[in-house]
Amino acid sequence: MGTGEGAGASSYRAPVADIVEALEAAGLWELLALPEFAHLDRPTVEQVVGEFGRFASEVIAPTDAAGDSTGSRRDDRGGVVTPPGFKEAYRRYVDGGWGGLQFPERYGGGGFPWAVAMALQEMFASANMALSINAALTHGAAELLLQWGDDRQRETYLPRLVSGHWPATMELTEPDAGSDLGALRTTATEGPDGRWRISGTKIFATWAEHDLADNIVHFVLARAAGAPAGTKGLSVFLVPKRLLGPSGEPGVANSLRCARVEEKLGIHASPTCVMEYDNASGELVGPLHGGLPAMFTMMNLARVSIGAEGPAVGERAYQQAYAYARARLQGRRPSTPPGERAPIIEHPDVARMLLQVRTLTLASRMVVYAASAERDMARYGAGEAERRSGEARFGLLVPIAKAWATDQGFLASSLALQVHGGSGYLEEAGVAQRLRDSRIGPIYEGTNGIQAIDLAVRKVSRDGGRVMRLLGDDIMATVKVLPLPELGPTAQALEEAHEALTEATAWVADRYTSSPDDVLAGATAYLQLAGATLGGWLMAKRALVARGEGLKGGAGAGEEGSRAKVAAGESNFFAVETLSDAPALLRRVTAGAGRLAPLRDWRPGPA
Ligand SMILES: Cc1cc2nc3c(=O)[nH]c(=O)nc-3n(C[C@H](O)[C@H](O)[C@H](O)COP(=O)(O)OP(=O)(O)OC[C@H]3O[C@@H](n4cnc5c(N)ncnc54)[C@H](O)[C@@H]3O)c2cc1C
């Protein structure tokens, strides 16, 4: 039975074999060799992925369609009521201990790598993207406290965040401060008791009010009285929905409220709140006026989790489109028996779309896992050099994982909808929800345009392209060992893409100081080039993993071919359909800002 066979509009089957294989291609073996993870082995990882996969498919996924149609709603008293089934599913997630796989055991976590936790996060998002964001934010907040909180804060809050008993939020955005955080106005004033009073309005605050838990821990970026202007004057404050009583349990309500829940295109079950803080009681986390680096601890991880939404939505859309394409009969093929019609999957153009959805999903999944694995290396690498390399590569990969993967997720859901023809445009088929849900990925957690600038300017220009070049060396090392002719198209396209990326990197690094606008105008193309090249590299590595293991069965393996053959074919398909854009992307990177002149010179005509 192929992946997704029998998948109805609302069902999801976790692709456990694909996920474990993707983890292997993205560096699982290197992680399991680290002393920190000596207690783990591949079977344990496979077991955890399999168990959570079952939980996501059987418990979480059934809540997804109702979440979309009902949405989370604000009630008359300012509370937010989640859709039917959410409370029960979330309770089972917490009770099952799934919230804290990647956190230290001393706080109730499982001591697993972030990379494995990211695989779980992806399955969560496939099953119900709207609900999964609550978990992603809570993970980011827990990491923020782990790194920047004091002992008391860690002891008080971490066990509750790690278990998911108290979910967390990340509140940066204000009406006048979106991409430009330096403009934010929320204030914090220190009281005589050492606690801070927070006042202001936050917008677009995800899961900032709901009925899933008896407390919510808000992480609010604000400007303390007397702080310098701009981003250097920002601090992070922990502001609980209900203040803790003497025993540490939630007590009286804090002075904050959800003033509105927004109506929006997708992720209807994820409440997007306008939050008003009116002298709310909070505590400082990390250094005063040094909040941005602390917030970045949370944001970087949240960005990778948002990246995981790309393959998450792509996977579910693929399962739906594959099942549909096998069942829907239209037209004929030369092999169709007289008097019968062909399932549309047999038409080459439909097969192309399905393979495109599948390979974009596979590649973006591995880019996200590879970024997470570098995060683990940065933290637990065997020596100083390995940790520093992990840190630098993580920094480089975060914007790529976030932006490239979410772009592919949207493209994949659009193609999966196209496979359905007119039915896809109707809500009944369920694939329209994928398109609507996936559209947020390129916007929130820093738009993809902002990610591209982060990559080109902060990550590449600043170090003269050094870390990207080192990654390029690894890519070429893989090209050299690719078996021919099986992976011939992959080897050729990957070598060309590597060449284009090397040239683009040198250009970006050289050009930024003298002509920043030239680089900014091509930043998105640069990120797309980097994403496609990394994706192609990981597809090639996955094909090698499948060969080495001689894996059989599971998604994608047909009776006639081994899994290795399918993986090689998928890599070659990606090389032809996606990686071959590399030379065109290089031209777009280096075209300069002059091409934007028509917009500057254009004027609207008379009405
Ligand atoms: C559903 C949803 C949930 C969200 N959840 C949260 C949350 O939980 N917490 C939170 O703090 N925020 C949240 N956000 C806010 C989100 O992160 C912002 O919307 C996003 O960062 C963009 O900010 P903005 O909307 O103000 O757009 P703007 O900053 O006004 O950007 C508009 C456009 O201009 C571009 N642009 C802006 N500045 C530049 C620049 N310097 N160079 C190049 N291009 C630029 C952007 O890329 C974008 O295309 C959420 C948003 C939505 C829609």
How do residues 571-590 score in pLDDT, each as one tens digit? 999 999 999 999 999 999 99
What is the 508 CA–ligand 1 centroid distance (Å)? 25
Distance 174 CA to ligand 1 centre (A): 10
pLDDT in tens, 219-232: 999 999 999 999 99
Q: Taking Cα atoms as reference points, which of 410, 137, 447, 467 lies closest to residue 299?
A: 137
Reply yes or no on whether the pLDDT at 161 is more than 50.
yes
Q: Is the CB of 447 under 6 A from ligand 1?
A: yes
Q: Kindly state if the Cβ of 204 falls inside 6 Å of ligand 1.
A: yes
607 pLDDT tier (thresholds 50, 70, 90): confident
Active site includes 88?
Answer: no
DSSP category for residue 254: P
What span, in angstroms and rounded, lies between the C-alpha atoms of 552 and 557? 7
Answer yes or no: is pLDDT of 531 > 50. Answer: yes
Model pLDDT for residues 466-506, shown as the tens digit of each residue: 999 999 999 999 999 999 999 999 999 999 999 999 999 99
The Å distance, Cα 272 to ligand 1 centre, comes to 13
Top pLDDT among 215 and 605 is at 215
CB 201 near ligand 1, within 6 Å: no
Read off the pLDDT band of 10 (50, 70, 90).
low
Secondary structure element (H or E) that encloses residue 252, with its range: strand 250-253
Ligand 1 probe mutation, 296, 444, 527, most atoms within 8 A of CB: 444
Atom of ligand 1 nearest to the CA of 449: 47
- Please report the pLDDT score of residue 554 as a whole number: 41
Give the whole-angstrom CA distance, residue 606 versus residue 589: 35
pLDDT > 60? residue 2: no
The mean pLDDT value of the chain amounts to 95
The answer to whether residues 223 and 233 touch, using CB atoms and an 8 Å cutoff, is: yes
Question: CB 357: neighbour CB atoms within 10 A?
Answer: 28
Does 3 score more than 60 pLDDT?
no
Nearest atom (ligand 1) to Cα of 173 = 11
Gap from CA of 20 to ligand 1 centroid (Å): 34
pTM of the model: 0.96
On the question of pLDDT at 278 being above 90, the answer is yes
227: three-class secondary structure by DSSP: coil
State the catalytic residue, choosing from 174, 209, 445, 570: 445
Q: Given this model, what pLDDT does residue 486 score?
A: 96
Residue 144's pLDDT band (cuts 50, 70, 90): very high
Would the CB of 28 count as within 6 Å of ligand 1?
Answer: no
CB atoms within 10 A of CB 152: 9
Q: Does 443 sit in the ligand 1 pocket, CB within 6 Å?
A: yes
Residue the block writes with tokens 């996501």: 56
Helix and strand tally (H, E) in the chain? 21, 11
3-state secondary structure 190-205: ECCCCCEEEEEEEEEE
Give 400's pLDDT tier (boundaries 50, 70, 90): very high
Reported as a pLDDT band with limits 50, 70 and 90, residue 366 is: very high
Q: Which residue has the tokens 């004033």?
A: 189
Query: Does residue 440 line the site of ligand 1, with CB under 6 A?
Result: yes
Region at 460 (left for phi over 0; alpha for psi -120 to 50; beta for the rest): alpha
Using a 10 angstrom Cβ sphere, with 0-12 exposed, 13-18 middle and 19 or more buried, the burial of residue 580 is middle
Best mutation site among 72, 170, 173 for ligand 1 pocket (most ligand atoms within 8 Å of CB): 173
pLDDT value of position 9: 53
Is the model's pLDDT at 4 over the cut of 80? no
Is pLDDT of 237 > 80?
Answer: yes
Q: Which atom of ligand 1 is nearest to the CA of 177?
A: 26
Choose among 402, 401, 411: nearest CA to 442.
402
Give the ligand 1 atom nearest the CA of 267.
1
Pocket test for ligand 1, best of 137, 298, 447 (most atoms within 8 A of CB): 447
Q: What is the pLDDT of residue 548?
A: 82
Residue 558 has pLDDT above 90, yes or no: no
